Structure formats: C-alpha cells, structure tokens
Amino acid sequence: MIAIISAMQEEIQALLNKLQNVSTIEKGMRTYYVGTLFNKKVVLVFSRWGKVAAAATTTQLINDFDLDEIIFTGVAGGIHPNLNIGDIVIGKDLFQHDLNASPFYKRFEIPIIKKLFLETKNPDSLIAATTIFLQNYHCYVKLNDAQIFDITKPKLVFGDIASGDQFISSLKKIAKLNKQIPSAICVEMEGAAVAQICYEYEMPFSIIRIISDKANDNATIDFSKFSNTIASNYALGILENYFA
C-alpha cells in the first residue's frame, strides 16, 4: 500500500475524486481515505500545516497501515531565482531550517540521529513520471487555469528542500536561507518532518512540491485556488504515470 499525504485537502482533491472502493478511518482529528487509485492500493490523508502535524500523521500511517512507501505532495515557495510558479521540485535532501540545537549539535543537525539532512529514496521513477506528466501537461491542467497563474513552460527540478514552522514571505528571509542552506531551492512546512519519521521507521519516502509563489514580499497568491486547480491536478498527473 502507498500512502499519499498533503498539508491541505485541496492539494489532493483530484486524487480523492479518482479514488475507488473508498472507506474512511477517523483518528486523531484526521480522515484516512483508503481505496484504489490507478489499480494501486492507497491511503490518502491531509496532515494539516506544520512539522508537528505532519509528523503525527506520518507516525499514525506507519503504525496503522501496511505501507510500502510514503509520498508527500503539495505546494512550496521557490527560493531559487530559476524557479517559477508552476515548476515542480522532486525532493532530494530535506533540511529543517528552523532546527538549532547548538552548542550540543551543529546547526540543522538532528539530535541523536546526527544528520544535517535526510535523503529521499529512489527518485528516478518519480522523476520519469513527472517528465511524462509535463509532456502531457494540458491533459491535466486547463489552459485557462494555467494562464491565471502565468504558468507557461513549467519545468522539473530535482533538488533540496528546506522545511520549517514559518511561512517565508520576505526577501530578507530568503537571503538568509540562501546563505545558510545554499543547496535548498524551495521552502515549505512539512517535508523534513515526514522524512525524519520515515527515516526512523525505515520507510521509503519521496516528495513532490509544486511552486506556488516565490516566497518573497509578493507571496500573496490564492493558495486555495492554486491548490485546487493546479497543485491537485499536478499530483493526479504525476501519480497516474508513477503508478502505471
């Protein structure tokens, strides 16, 4: 079984619409949707925002379901100048940019585990699926919806992601992140927490992030609309090809 997590239900609504043979389980103020998606047994859940919420949801998933892997999908803010709204980041290494246990550990180093970042597993298949999705982009995303957000030539980037319990929305904060974690190309609030839980439980983990804004002083996008019309359909298209 494959688990698919998002921080907001809007980010996976297109997947929920395609889910067959659906049953639900209510635990910890979460609804876990179990069913079949593109002939694969899956469980879908939205974790809510932030590292604690994501970690709690991931732990529940691993303990309650017989999982083969976990995939997180959702939006992120771009902090690399070459990333534009509508681009896709397949995560490589996940950092917790707000973790600082110095002087006992280096900045960003996870206590006990002693790792500065956590790696995703086997990204090649996900990268291949994303490439096919982009080749058939307008089979999943309506032209008018893409135009609303000025998406013209979305691209795929395989790169590092920074997670933290902060909404990054200023050039000053971006400059600080660029200096502290120069390899990170986007920022969000859940991925590294999910990665840590998966690492501790030896669960394969991967992450898909769709760039919804550039995490700067102009980060005023309609997240609900973007998630429903863009991010949700990206997840649908990528995972349909991933499960093929």
Each residue's pLDDT tens digit, 147-160: 999 999 999 999 99
pLDDT at position 216 is 64
What is the C-alpha R_g of the chain? 17
Q: How many domains does the chain have?
A: 1
pLDDT at position 213 is 85
Position of tokens 């609900």?
Answer: 224
Q: Would residue 11 count as lying in a domain? A: no
186-244 pLDDT per residue, tens: 999 999 999 999 999 999 999 999 999 876 655 556 778 899 999 999 999 999 999 99
Q: Would residue 175 count as lying in a domain? A: yes
Given a contact cutoff of 8 angstroms between Cβ atoms, the answer to whether 206 and 120 are in contact is yes
Q: Which domain holds residue 147?
A: 73-242
Q: Would residue 12 count as lying in a domain? A: no
Q: Would residue 42 count as lying in a domain? A: no
Query: Mind spelling out the 3-state secondary structure of 114-126?
Result: CECCEECCCCHHH
Q: From the candidates 10, 11, 109, 188, give the one annotated as an active-site residue.
A: 11
pLDDT at position 217 is 55
pLDDT at position 224 is 84
pLDDT at position 220 is 56
CB atoms within 10 A of CB 35: 18
Q: Would residue 220 count as lying in a domain? A: yes
Q: Furthest-apart CA pair in the chain: how many Å? A: 52
User: In the chain, which residues have pLDDT < 70?
Assistant: 215-221
Q: CA-CA distance, 70 to 97, in Å (whole number)?
A: 22
11 is catalytic: yes
Position of tokens 């590294």?
Answer: 192
pLDDT at position 192 is 98
Q: Would residue 213 count as lying in a domain? A: yes
Q: From the candidates 10, 93, 213, 240, give the one annotated as an active-site residue.
A: 213
Q: Would residue 174 count as lying in a domain? A: yes
119 is catalytic: no
Q: Would residue 63 count as lying in a domain? A: no
Kindly report the CATH number assigned to the domain that includes residue 94: 3.40.50.1580
